[in-house]
Amino acid sequence: MKRRKLILLCLLCGTSLYSAAQESRSFQLEVRNTWTHEQTDAPVVVKLSDLKTGFDVVSATVTDGVREIPSQLDDLDGDRKADELAFVIDMPAQSTRQIDITLSAAPAQKTYTPRVSAQLLIRDAKKGKHAPIQSVTVPGTTNFYNMVYGHGPMFESELVGYRIYFNEKQTIDPYGKFTPRLELTESQFYPTDEQLARGFGDDVLMVGNSCGIGALKGWDGQKAVHIAPVVYRTERILACGPVRAVVEVEVQGWEYQGRRLDMTHRYILYAGHRDLRIETSFSHPLAEEVFCTGVQNIMGNETVAYSDHRGLTGSWGRHWPVNDTVKYAKETIGIATCIPEKYIRQEVADGDNFLYILSAPGERGFCHYTMFTSRKETFGFPDAEAWFGYMQEWKDGLEHPLETVILPDVETSGRPHP
């Protein structure tokens, strides 16, 4: 009897080990930098649906053969299952590397140093407190702007911080830093006097009714218009690190140019980056609707602008960032926005902004990129000439993303990530 129990126990253990082994899969990813420049903290994204693992991925380990590379698994569609694996790596010019990746159905106890953060806070005015939330949806007629602490989701990399206004403007507003580090978890976009004395950054631009830092707007033929009226407006945090933050803003029932549009903006900020990738998607293919985006014409008479007339536009200027002109000094800031040329229909200016008009008939979405620099940065740019030069190099880099290929010993093959 004892012998029979021992055999049964061994069989059960063997089955358990076999099952665990089956719910783990390793593969190699070849990463190529075809650009003639080195890429630092270059994003790599692997769509898990391409791998067909046969199990729900709960943890991942990414190594370069010697060191583990911090990574994260993100659930982007809200079904509580990981959809993408993301990490950043350094790649010399015109180089190739093999990256080892192991996916598992078992949880892993790992802690990486965070290089980005994201938060969405609801205000409790009576108690003077605020609580973190992941998502909130309100009717389009609800004035929710002052009920959200920071007026919208706040997120950052070591280099820069952003927030997205929770109202019809949906403007991207910047937070400039003196020192590369994470600050928004502590300052929450409103640094105290004590934090300012410790060298914290703060708001560096009064966006007003402009597109601010590359916000997408409607276009009425003469000027940029806000995203209203809508039936519902939603803002959510999809990922908050350690290597990328992902924030979404969604509107349903936007009455625009004779149609009702359901539109989602997804903002992606990677560790080591100052630029945002903004993915705009629609529930149905577009017709002839036109939109606009670009950079703010920074108020004051010190603003200069740059354009390559092929999708890249920028401005550099100096003005007060808030209405309090006693406590706060003028800030110098540079802005840049880059739109793929195939979407561009016209280049215009409307007083508040330097803009491109864009459209994508028959498509269900498009993307563009935006970024800024603050003159207060100890790691930034001294003048407009340096900023405009960097903008051109930035565009060149956007046109040369890393290419990824899953090596042939794995059943499925990869493709370059756009």
Between 314 and 3, the higher pLDDT residue: 314
Mean pLDDT of the chain: 91
Question: What residue segments make up the domains of the chain, in order of their start?
Answer: 25-110, 116-378
Rounded to an integer, the average pLDDT of 310-324 is 91
Per-residue pLDDT of 253-289, as tens digits, reads 999 999 999 999 999 999 999 999 999 999 999 999 9
Residue 418's pLDDT is what? 38
* Cβ neighbours of residue 222 closer than 8 Å, sequence gap 6 or more: 350
CB neighbour list of residue 16: distance below 8 Å, 6 or more residues apart: none
Q: Residue 55 gets which letter from DSSP? A: S
Q: Are 367 and 360 in contact (CB under 8 A)?
A: no
CATH topology of domain 116-378: Beta-galactosidase; Chain A, domain 5 (2.70.98)
Rounded-to-10 torsion of CA 104, 109, 111, 112: -20
For residue range 83-98, list pLDDT tens digits in order. 999 999 999 999 999 9
363/379 Cα distance (integer angstroms): 39
CATH code of the region 25-110: 2.60.40.1180
**Cα dist from 327 to 60, 193, 196, 320, 330, whole Å:** 48, 10, 12, 10, 10
Quick check: 128 pLDDT over 80? no
Task: List, for residues 168-194, the tens digit of each pLDDT value.
Answer: 999 999 999 999 999 999 999 999 999
Report the pLDDT averaged over residues 151-160: 98
Q: What is the pTM of this model?
A: 0.92
Angle subtended at Cα 118 by Cα 116 and Cα 119, rounded to the nearest 5 degrees: 155
